[in-house]
Chains A and B, each alone.
Chain A
Amino acid sequence: MRFKKILRPWCGWMAVVCFLLTFTGLAAQAKDLKFEARLIWATHAQKSPDPNHKPVTAEVRKKLEALPLKWANYFEVSRKNLAVPRGGSEQVTLSDQCRMGVKDVKGEYIEVSQIGKGVPVLKLTQRLPKGEMLVLSGNAPDATGWLVVLKRVE
C-alpha cells in the first residue's frame, strides 16, 4: 500500500517523459533532409571571365584544396537548396546542361543522380552525414573543370 503511494506520482511523470520522447523521435525522423547543391567551375586562372561567377566560400575552398584536384581556383556558377522528404526524392537544375537528383534511401543513404545535357551520367548511393560533402567532378575544355558539390545541411 505504502509502496503504491510512493510509486503513483512517478508513474505519471514517467508516462509524460515517454510520450515526449516518442513524439520527439518521430518528429526528428519526419524532418526533411536539406542539402546545398553548387555548380563550380575550376580553373588555373585568377579570375573568371564571367562576372556572375563568385569565388567559392572559404569552407568549400578548404575542402576542395584537400582533394587531389589539379586546379588553383574555384568559382561558383550557381547554388541551389534542396529539401528531400524522408523516403522521397528531389531534383534541382544547376545549369542548362546540368541537373541533379537526390533521393532518400531508408533514411540512411542518399541516391544521387546527375543528368548532363539531358543524358543520365551518374547514379550513386552513399551515406552523407550532416556537414559532409559529395563532389562530382570532371574535365572541361581549355584545361578547366566542372564540379558539382552537394553538401548536407540538415
Chain B
Amino acid sequence: MTAEQQLKLQALLDGELPEKEARETAAWVARDAEAADLARELRQTRQALADAEPGLRVAESREFYWSRIERDIRRLEQAPTLSQPVSVLARLRRLLVPVSAVAALVVIVLATGLWVGFWGRPIRPDTEMTMADSGAFTYHDYANGTTLVWLDYPAER
C-alpha cells in the first residue's frame, strides 16, 4: 500500500472525500484485506482517543461563565478613568524633571567651556610672531616658565 493510498483511506474515515471518490475508496477497502486492517486500526485509535478525553465541566452555566469574563474585561478598561485626577503640581513636577536635567547639562557645558577658556576667548598659540626674520624660532621651557625666541639678528659676520 502506498502512502497516497494510506492518506486517502484516512480521508475516507474523516469524511473528507467527495462522494464518488469515497465510494471507490470504500469498495477498495472491501476488496483489499490490508486496507481493511488499516481502516479498522484507525477507527480503533480514534475511538480510544475519544474515550480517553476527560469530560471537564464548568460548574456555572455557559452564559454566567462568559458574562463574568466580560465584566472583568470592562472593569480593566475603565480602571484608568476611575483613578484620581493628576494635580497641577504633579504635572509641573513631571515637566520639571526633564527641563532641570537639560538645564543642568547646559550649565555644565557652559561652566566647562569657561573653565577651559573656550568661550569668549580666542584660541591663540603660546607665542604668535607677527614680525620676525625667517630664521626665528621659539622654545618654551614650561618647567621654568621661560620662553626663548632665537633670532638671526644681527647676523654674525
Min Cβ gap A99→B in Å is: 14
**Count the B residues whose beta carbon is within 8 Å of the partner chain — how many?**
28
Query: Does the CB pair B127–A125 fall under 8 Å?
Result: yes
Min Cβ gap A47→B in Å is: 22
Within 8 A of A (CB), among B132-157: 132-133, 136, 139, 141, 143-157
| A120 CA / B102 CA spacing, docked (Å) | 54
| Contacts beyond the supplied A63-B145, A135-B146, A136-B151: 5 A-B pairs with Cβ under 8 Å | A63-B141, A123-B131, A124-B128, A126-B128, A132-B147
Min Cβ gap A138→B in Å is: 4
- Majority secondary structure, A binding face: strand
Query: Does the CB pair B146–A141 fall under 8 Å?
Result: no
Min Cβ gap B119→A in Å is: 14
Query: Does the CB pair A124–B149 fall under 8 Å?
Result: yes
| A133 CA / B148 CA spacing, docked (Å) | 9
Chain A residues with Cβ below 8 Å from B141 are 63, 66-67
Query: Does the CB pair B146–A63 fall under 8 Å?
Result: yes
Partner of A121, one of B145, B147, B153: B153
Contact A122:B156 (CB < 8 A) given known A133-B147, A135-B148: no
Partner of A122, one of B124, B148, B151, B155: B151
Min Cβ gap B121→A in Å is: 8
Query: Does the CB pair A122–B157 fall under 8 Å?
Result: no
Chain B residues with Cβ below 8 Å from A116 are 153-154
Min Cβ gap A70→B in Å is: 11
Interface status of B47 (Cβ within 8 A of chain A):
no
Residues of chain B whose beta carbon lies under 8 Å from any beta carbon of chain A: 121, 124, 126-133, 136, 139, 141, 143-157
Query: Does the CB pair A138–B143 fall under 8 Å?
Result: no
Size category of the binding interface on chain A: 20 to 34
Question: Who on chain A is nearest to B128 by CB?
Answer: A125
Binary interface profile of A, 114-148, with partner B (CB < 8 Å = 1, else 0)? 00110011111111110111111111110100000
Contact A135:B149 (CB < 8 A) given known A66-B141, A66-B143, A68-B139: yes
| A135 CA / B126 CA spacing, docked (Å) | 14
Contact A137:B144 (CB < 8 A) given known A109-B124, A124-B130, A126-B127: no
**Lowest 5 CB-CB distances: which A-B pairs, in order?**
A132-B145, A123-B131, A126-B127, A139-B156, A138-B151
Query: Does the CB pair A66–B151 fall under 8 Å?
Result: no
